[in-house]
Amino acid sequence: MPSYEDLKARVIDAGECTVCGACVVACPTFHIKFIDGKPERPKRTMDCVGCSICYEACYMLRHDLMKAIETSTIGWGRKESIGLHRSVVAARAMDADITRACQDGGIVSALLLYALDSGAIDGALVVGGEGWAPVACIAEHRDEIVRSAGTKYGVVPVLKELRAAVVDRGLSRICVVGSPCHIQSTRYLKYKGLPLASSVKLTVGLFCRENYDYACLAEKTRVRGVDIGRADKLDVSDEFDIYVDGQKLCLPLTDVKGCVPRHCLVCRDFAAELADIAVGSGGSPEGWSTVIVRTEDGEKVFSGMVEEARIETRDIEDISEVKEIASRKKEKGKQTREIFRLKEAGLDQEEIAARLGITKERVSHRLEGI
């Protein structure tokens, strides 16, 4: 029977772990802890009963099930790079507290508030921050949701809080907000029938090109003379933007490339293809969000927000830019995985380049990261 050692060898030490938090929450003896940002079982192992639940809880070991999970949750049809969906629209929140604090159109926070007020959910797993360092949190009230608004760049185990949400707080209608990897993991736990996951009733995914190690980002900005903790906002577009003291510092993406974890280099999901609703800035004007509604549950919540005039919507004239980013991420992730495979098989960069018919510079560029 596979155990924690197998999870460690195949996922954690192999650089495949996306730090979703599922194994930590699934372990019945509470024996896995995040140590230096990785799910580790402390050296004293007698509490580990070798049950294999942590291994079974890791979606990174079951890519073969993702198609079936998509069919059973989202549906089926001709798939585009942004995933199966019912509608795509631009939207922005009307609530002034949200528009002050949010990243783009404030749709994620507005949706959580509406879902709470309407009783669709009784709480949410969100990402708050200590400064800009991301922290997994539970939000049950308006002020907690407003406080969690804004994008914190950094890897964060969102699902780690699921047990506390269900067992300690007694929540039974939870929304998980997270990156596409968090949403894949959530859907997988539900599909596998992890009892805690049955309390998740809604998933909101964020578009995601890549993520960064927060400590690495803080160091990159420190050498540029900026304390990232004092920033008013961080944003990634064609560059890494730090808004501080009314000024905008733009770092070229090549400066922060070395902060991208390995699991992000091979990731292929940009548009949170398994979420009930996916939200991002790409494709919409500044201050608006692009919203992709994928499921009936997502549609119900989104149309409820529109009916109560909590948000303003408008058509998106051209979604091709988002489709292009999503499709580039798929190609890049696939190619990078192949590069890693060949590297681990002992080929040098020149041999890999020749084998794949690409330049050596591209091979080296693809391997940049932590």
% helix / strand / coil in the chain, to the nearest 5? Answer: 45, 20, 40
The residue (of 39 and 129) whose beta carbon lies closer to ligand SF4 is 39
Q: Which of 19, 176, 196, 339 binds ligand SF4 (CB under 6 A)?
A: 19
The residue (of 317 and 344) whose beta carbon lies closer to ligand FAD is 317
Q: Which of 103, 211, 221, 290 binds ligand SF4 (CB under 6 A)?
A: 211
Stretch in the footprint of ligand SF4 (CB under 6 A) among 25-33, 111-119, 163-171, 294-302: 25-33
| Minimum distance of ligand SF4 from residue 366's CB (angstroms) | 14
Q: Does 278 bind ligand FAD (CB under 6 A)?
A: no
Number of residues binding to ligand FAD, judged by CB under 6 A: 34
Terminus-to-terminus CA distance in the chain, angstroms? 32
Q: Which of 73, 179, 186, 349 binds ligand SF4 (CB under 6 A)?
A: 179
For ligand SF4, what does the binding mask look like between residues 228 and 267, x meaning CB under 6 A? -----------------------------------xx--x
Lookup result for tokens 């772990």: 17
Cα gap 296→315, rounded to integer Å: 20
The answer to whether 118 and 109 have CB atoms below 8 angstroms apart is: no
For ligand FAD, what does the binding mask look like between residues 228 and 267, x meaning CB under 6 A? --------x-------------------------------
Cα gap 131→152, rounded to integer Å: 9
Q: Which of 52, 172, 313, 335 binds ligand SF4 (CB under 6 A)?
A: 52
Token pair belonging to 63: 């890519």
Q: Could you give the 3-state DSSP secondary structure of residue 109?
A: helix
The residue (of 8 and 85) whose beta carbon lies closer to ligand FAD is 85
Distance of CA 190 to the CA centre of its chain: 17
Side-chain-side CA neighbours of 269 within 13 Å: the count stands at 22
| Minimum distance of ligand SF4 from residue 56's CB (angstroms) | 8
Chain positions 125 to 144 lying near ligand FAD, rule: CB under 6 A, are: 126-127, 134
Q: Does 211 bind ligand FAD (CB under 6 A)?
A: yes
Residue 140 identity: E
Number of residues binding to ligand SF4, judged by CB under 6 A: 39
Cα gap 367→360, rounded to integer Å: 11
The residue (of 102 and 305) whose beta carbon lies closer to ligand FAD is 102
For residue 37, with 0-12 CB atoms within 10 Å meaning exposed, 13-18 middle and 19 or more buried, which class applies?
A: middle
| Minimum distance of ligand SF4 from residue 194's CB (angstroms) | 11
Cα gap 341→347, rounded to integer Å: 9
- Residue 89 interaction partner, one of ligand FAD, ligand SF4, none, beta carbon < 5-8 Å per kind: none
Q: Of 45, 48, 56, 44, which Cα lies nearest the Cα of 29?
A: 48
Q: What sign has the CA pseudo-torsion 354, 356, 358, 360?
A: negative
Q: Does 177 bind ligand SF4 (CB under 6 A)?
A: no
- Residue 349 interaction partner, one of ligand FAD, ligand SF4, none, beta carbon < 5-8 Å per kind: none
Q: Which residues would be at the binding site for ligand SF4 (CB under 6 A)?
A: 3-4, 7, 11-12, 17-23, 27, 29, 31-32, 39, 41, 48-54, 57-58, 60, 179-181, 185, 208, 210-211, 263-264, 267, 269
Q: Which residues would be at the binding site for ligand FAD (CB under 6 A)?
A: 102-109, 126-127, 134, 148-154, 156, 158, 177-179, 206-209, 211, 236, 279-282, 289
